Structure 1
Amino acid sequence: MHNNCQRKVIPLLNSVSHWYNMKDYYLCYYCNFSVAAKKKKSGNTGCRDDEEEILDSFTDRLVQQKVIKWESVNNKIRISCSSRQKICQPQENGSNKQLSSQNTQESTTNTNEIVKHFLHECHKKATESKKPILLNDMHVHVRHSDNISVIPTIKDVSNILSSVEFKNRAHDLHLAQVMWRNGHFENALNLFWSTYEENLNIRKRIKCILQVNFADAINTKGEAVLVIIINFSKKFVKKYNDYTLLSYVWESCFLSKWHSDNQIASDLLEKYPKLKDNVQLRVHHITSVSLISHKIDVVQRLFEVLLKYDMKTQYELVLRSLFDYACSIRDFYACSAIVQSCSDLDVTLTDIQNSRFINLFCQDDARRGAKLFIKTWSTKPSKFSFKF
């Protein structure tokens, strides 16, 4: 009886045990003998039914254990993948949008306090020679930040680290820069104006900042911003008789690709005759920028302005620069046209330029291979982009 039961149970258990590892197999083998012992005690009539019930319950239990095991493994994998996904996701610049205004204010205050405490500790442990380093790092951080809430912290730390920086109101310049980048142009210019009036030491610094801001705004913003900038520059003309900022506006409008901006530059020169003195200082920069970017039409318009307002010295400088440009691209025909213009206008070239022209004339391959550069200087009007 024992042998018959064993022959019936073992094949069934073997068919199940090949799905599992060795540990489960030994467990099946142990249960095999316990099942066989129970069969021996029971009668022949109930042996087959008990066999099937015990085998089914044992198989269900093993399958359930495997299901629980694989679910736990999959949950661990899913958790690790989700954490990696959160780490790999780029941080949004406007993460404060997800927070309420109260939480944002509290977090900003805590951050400012941490930064302030850190800088205070640096101030206590640093020597006098390291104060400029701390101030420079602080200014660089704020210069590239768009968070206005950092400015009060910078103001407090400036008062501790350097009384000179605090009196010069350098933090106000940072605040004005942040306001400018956020699109509050009129408020930023008002802050620049008040800082300029109260501090003589940083006026040159303010002009340098405004020069960059004006050039970027005129090239990328609309007519409304240009009107605000022009009105602000006129305030300097009225109160200080200073045409520096207005010359920055004229230069940016003159270099602009928009015809309306070019017309504004022309109107400014006609309305403010004294602006010519400041424009003369910008001629060399305009010529260099135009020739580097191969914008010959800008140089042509500059020639017209210089001849109209009788700036002969600047005209000679621009003509010599244009001759050097034509020689650098080995254009003999353009050089010949410039030499002809020099003779007509009684402009003399330098000895080095004359020797370069002679060498270029003697090189036949340069004469044959040169492009007809003179064709780009046609009398036809340039194609302007109109801004509406």
Structure 2
Amino acid sequence: MSAISLQLFMHPRNYVRLLCYVKKYHSFVPNIFYYATTIDPLDVFTQDFQRNKSKIVNVFDVNNLRIRKFMESESNRYDVSMMNEEDLNKILEELQVKSKDKVVKQIVTDCINYSKFINENTVKRLLRHYSNHGKTDMVAVLQKYCAKVDPNFYKRNGEFQHYSAKAQCMRGNSEKGLEILKQSYRTHENLRTFYRIIFKELIQDSVLNRSEASLVIFKKYVLEFSETWEEHYPLICFWYICWSSSWFSDQMLGNELLESSEVLQDIVRDRAVVFSITILRDYNDDAVVRLLQVLLKYNMMAEYTKVLQVLFNFKLKNRDIRGCTEIIKNCEALGVTLPSDQQGRYIKMLITGQQTDSKPTASKNTSSFKLKF
């Protein structure tokens, strides 16, 4: 008994084991009051004990103990001091896939304490993953690791502030995230390509996820980037996504951007035909109609005529007689003349109901617009 008491004292979890399994298997032990009334209680007790012996032994079988919580807490502890770089990379990758964030955080913290190196590609992969999921605490611990264990890698990548900015935005803190991005853009000129990519991804995510509050904040920052550093591409990306959106609020925001920026007006004028051809590949002719209205509003008649020809070709190709007729009426009202070949194809379609194999003329000398930096 003293030995058993000592084991219980040394391992408090044994109390939990004993209570759980005595409660579960108490029915296997014969009732003592039954033996008090039998003729030969010793023989009966012996027989019952032999019959239930295997079940009683299983009560104290370590392999059957349901203490998963205790076992997991022990197995989650990794001895980083004994691991090489390959082992660390493998374990961190497996834990990240399993979403074991607390364990990853503990391992990274131990790497700081033991000055253990993690492969640079693994660090970047973890930063991308956690920033995309808005886990700012995990990004922060990885930044701390790089700052202390691999400071050259840390400085060379701009202290990984672009990942911190993205994590904040993905978490819903757009103002804080974009402010971090702006400060990084100002400080690290050699890394501005990375910051543009992050900015573009954040714009797309904000518009597609319908965050009205974030859209207002993004409008402020794209205009600031354009005015302060003459960095116009975030402004173009933001306007393009709003213009091509099917949501009325996005379209109105795109119109507000045009009114706020003369630079954007000039870019839209120069790239109107390219925008139209690109968006028509997605059969979004409503966006082209809205662009025609914008060109009329700012009295860009030469660009209006070119875009109208692109739209007319699109209607001809899809045998949309009604759409072609509306464009013809519009041309007559505005005094705009379509090329003779387009008019001939339209007349032929009216007569025969067939469309020629001619490709849109406006697309021959025009390259596609792509949202790339």
* Common topology (TM > 0.5): yes
Pairing of 1:117-156 with structure 2 (within 5 A) = 117-119=116-118, 134=120, 136-145=121-130, 146=135, 147=138, 148-155=140-147
Distance 1:205 1:280 in 2: 28
Partner of 2:192: 203
Q: 2:209 matched to which residue of 1?
A: 220
User: In the TM superposition, what is the alpha-carbon distance from 1:210 to its structure 2 partner?
Assistant: 1.0
Superposition CA RMSD, Å: 4.5
Tell me, yes or no, if structure 1 residue 346 matches structure 2 residue 337: yes
Matching of residues 1-388 of structure 1 within 5 Å: 53=39, 57-72=42-57, 79=64, 96=102, 108-112=108-112, 117-119=116-118, 134=120, 136-145=121-130, 146=135, 147=138, 148-155=140-147, 159-160=151-152, 166-167=155-156, 169=158, 171-280=160-269, 283=272, 286-287=275-276, 290-312=279-301, 314-316=303-305, 318-323=307-312, 325-326=314-315, 329-335=318-324, 337-338=326-327, 345-348=336-339, 364=353
Residue 209 of structure 1 and its aligned partner are, at CA, apart by 2.0
Deviation readout 1:165-187 (Å, 9 max, x if unpaired): 83451622222222222223222
Deviations 1:274-330 (A, max 9, x none): 321233466467546643544332221111112222445544554454345445544
When residues 72 and 334 of structure 1 are mapped into structure 2, their CA distance, relative to the original with a 3 A threshold, is: farther
Identity of aligned residues (%): 22
Shift of 1:160: 3.9
State the alpha-carbon separation in 2 of the partners of residues 77 and 359 from structure 1. Answer: 88
CA distance in 2: counterparts of 1:317 and 1:81, whole angstroms: 75
Amino acid at match of 1:150: L
Q: Which amino acid aligns with 1:110?
A: D
Q: Which amino acid aligns with 2:110?
A: N
Write the deviation string for residues 80-127 of structure 1: whole angstroms up to 9, x where unpaired.
Answer: 8886xx99xx9985865xxxxxx998665115557x6233xx6xxxxx
Shift of 1:231: 2.4
Q: CA deviation at 1:213?
A: 0.9
Retained in 2: the 8 A contact 1:155–1:171?
Answer: no
Residue by residue over 1:240-299, the C-alpha shift from the partner in whole angstroms, topping out at 9 and shown as x without a partner, is 344443333333332344433322322332233232123346646754664354433222
Q: Distance in 2 between matches of 1:172 and 1:322?
A: 44
SS class of match (2:262): coil
Contact kept? 1:342, 1:348, Cα under 8 Å:
no
Q: Tell me the SS of whatever aligns to 1:233.
A: helix
Cα distance in 1 for partners of 2:290, 2:147 equals: 47
Do the aligned partners of residues 280 and 57 (structure 1) sit closer, same or farther apart at CA in structure 2, a change above 3 Å counting?
farther
Aligned residue for 1:191, secondary structure, equals: helix
Which protein is bigger by CA-based radius of gyration?
A: 1
CA contact 1:243–1:278 (8 Å) conserved in 2? no
2:117 partner letter: F
TM-score, normalisation: structure 1: 0.56
Contact 1:237 1:243 in 2 (8 A): yes
Cα distance in 2 for partners of 1:76, 1:314 equals: 84
Change (3 A) 1:219 1:77: same
Segments of structure 2 that go 5 or more residues without pairing to the other structure are 1-37, 73-94, 356-373
Does the 8 Å CA contact 2:123/2:142 hold for their aligned counterparts? Answer: no
Q: 1:331 to 1:224 in 2, by over 3 A?
A: closer
Q: 1:168 to 1:58 in 2, by over 3 A?
A: closer
State the Cα deviation string for residues 1-48 of structure 1 (Å, max 9, x = none). xxxxxxxxxxxxxxxxxxxxxxxxxxxxxxxxxxxxxxxxxxxxxxxx
Equivalent AA in structure 2 for residue 348 of structure 1: P
- Between the aligned partners of 1:327 and 1:62, the Cα distance in structure 2 is 96
**Alignment coverage as a number of residue pairs:** 285
Distance in 1 between residues matched to 2:64 and 2:305, nearest whole Å: 74
Q: 1:196·1:202 contact (CA, 8 Å) conserved in 2?
A: yes
